[in-house]
Chains A and B, each alone.
Chain A
């Protein structure tokens, strides 16, 4: 809650593309049962990605007893919160976090969290083992940016395959649209950009956006929003540079 109060004080919108997760939504989602302090600092974009994802799922009819797939789940508080709300969650990831083969030990799922409403599956998202039309909803939060392009594309196809007809697919991914100019005393310059275009992922999904009124912004528009302070940036200190990114999200219906 501490971080949220800070945000409220400066009266910022926590904004993602194709919709706005407001502070109010954020607070409503992360109620007192889920301290935000549990989210690791490198995951700080999740503080608005999860409420944004949640609000979209709710608007599109998510309810208790639904069956939802979390693709690239790791060990995140979002799925445990959904499970606490009696949504059946299957977390899919490449490794359990205690798996010696994992290239990033500690980043996989934690089997100790399994419950009546939360189970895990060890599989690659480009080959999801579940049958067609199985899940009521599928989401993937900040996963695609960790994959190569062929896996991203295959993963999107698989997510849609296992999704029920008319079910929502909610995806967020990190995005750096354009190099960032330095802001003295605030922000260092960032020359890095992502090596993919999220718009291609939407096109690859080949399904309509859940909200047809949404206009997909250009990189320039995103950069302008960012420069106006409408996007909350996450800052990562890489070995040789600072870079800043925000998350983009989109919702399509199968």
Chain B
């Protein structure tokens, strides 16, 4: 076995050196089409307590699998299976059945196995079919002090015949270490992949709060390897998915992907709790009202595009080489557009708004207000689809009629406006001049802000709080830093908690570009 001091000259790239003689699906007598991804839930203790643990260090009790029943599930699939392990807050190498589970998975196909790599591989590494195993060894903070032992285990796995990659959670507090560790592992011939941290740190939400420079870490390191190019765009897209109700939309869960829980029950996915009698023969409409994933929707299908596609391409003997960095941004944008098109087509954007209504955030804001100087009140009355709440609010403006507390929110939007071409681009600012006029009464509340096409608020409140005579009639000049890629925006007037309610009678919107707030 190679030790770390002898490993510097090893030129190891599992992805281009594999030839057709290694094609496991063919070896197993399966077509490379119709393969299935299996996620096996595995729960046991963990010997680490990472601050950024995705499971927040919540330990579920040890759950033993019935290996014969699990085998029956694989048998029923009758397909080349790529197995993942859903470990929650567990360290799977501590599971007493880990070797059996891995050997079973490798018998039916290939597997990706996550570990903190703190346990000697002698205790868990499968004895056969190791060429079908990819081990994602995560270097966590508690492993950093024992990095030589970590590296020894890594090389032992690799020398056994499995593929290895080092995973490094790019927590903001660890960013400065990435370069050193990257060099360390590259000398061993092992690729290190920083992955985005998901959560809050110093009051910021990640991965959204990574700076442009910090994001480059992922663009350079994630474009190859175990998760070629998917890891980046798919995770970016995932955080954009504001609509999580995919019920009724065709999804590959239950067809191309299967979830097996600790009772060896076959389920569509982590979020679909009903057991499946058998694997679906096609993409079926999702029955889940809230999905934490969404990336398995048939038309997005990240599995075929990425990890699963990687295994498929192995089956075809093709290399995954290519400058995937160039593809990444295009893939992200293409799939983001596709996601919103799917949501629109299946009526989910309407539902998003309806849900907002139920939660009391806003009333239905699809008011077709088409002329900027038209009376907003008139717009409300004419275009609100008989929105009872709107009319109640309008009625509440009449003297002597008290506001009905159950109908205290309303919302009105302008149509989407194209952002000035001269204002587009990073570092640009937009000067917005709002001229509401007339209407309203002192003592009520109205919030005006800008929204992008995904219903995200992209400006602070331009007008907020109690209204008074000056902001009812005077022009409001506000500046917003344009989000990257913003093409269109609209103005939202949200009325809330008012008695009686203020709604401006007219609103004139002007925009002009400037390079900064200071020189605007």
Contact = CB atoms under 8 A, between A and B. Distances in A.
A131 B346 CA distance: 12
B345 A129 contact: yes
A139 B345 CA distance: 21
B385 A119 contact: no
Interface stretch (A94-102, A186-194, A228-236): A94-102
Contacts of B298: 131
Interface stretch (A19-27, A109-117, A243-251): A109-117
Contacts of A117: 287
B247 A119 contact: yes
Nearest to B286: A119
Given A101-B364, A131-B250, A119 B287 contact: yes
Contact of B347 (A90, A116, A123, A130): A123
A121 B286 CA distance: 11
Interface centre among B278, B350, B357 (most CB of A within 10 A): B350
B284 interface: yes
A100 B357 contact: yes
A101 B277 CA distance: 39
Contact of B287 (A115, A121, A123): A115
B319 interface: no
Contact of A119 (B285, B357, B364, B387): B285
Contact of B250 (A99, A101, A123, A134): A134
A123 B345 contact: yes
A74 B440 CA distance: 41
Nearest to A117: B287
Contacts of B364: 100-101
B385 A101 contact: yes
Interface residues of A, number: 24
A254 interface: no
A122 B285 contact: no
A101 B389 CA distance: 12
Contacts of B247: 114, 119-120
Contacts of A120: 247-248
A67 interface: yes
A88 B284 contact: yes
Contacts of A119: 247-248, 285-287
Nearest to B350: A122
Nearest to B357: A100
B388 interface: yes
Interface in A148-165: none
Nearest to A124: B347
Nearest to A64: B277
Contacts of A88: 284-285
B387 A100 contact: yes
B354 interface: yes
Contacts of B385: 100-101
A148 B16 CA distance: 60
Contacts of B351: 96, 122
Nearest to A122: B347
B289 A114 contact: yes
Given A114-B247, A129-B345, A100 B388 contact: yes
A119 B346 CA distance: 12
A100 B386 contact: yes
Nearest to A130: B250
A118 B345 CA distance: 19
Interface string B367-396: 000000000000000000111110000000
Interface centre among A96, A117, A121 (most CB of B within 10 A): A121
Contacts of B389: 100
A111 B348 CA distance: 13
B274 interface: yes
B391 to A, nearest CB: 11
Given A111-B289, A121-B248, 16 more contacts: A90-B248, A99-B350, A99-B354, A100-B388, A101-B386, A115-B287, A116-B272, A116-B287, A117-B287, A120-B247, A122-B347, A122-B350, A130-B250, A131-B250, A131-B298, A134-B250
25 contacts: A65-B278, A67-B282, A90-B248, A98-B354, A99-B354, A100-B364, A100-B385, A101-B387, A114-B247, A114-B287, A115-B287, A116-B274, A116-B287, A118-B287, A119-B286, A119-B287, A120-B247, A121-B248, A121-B285, A121-B346, A122-B346, A122-B351, A129-B345, A131-B250, A134-B282
Q: Which 9 pairs between the two chains have the least Cβ-Cβ distance?
A: A122-B347, A119-B248, A121-B248, A116-B274, A129-B345, A101-B385, A119-B285, A119-B247, A116-B287
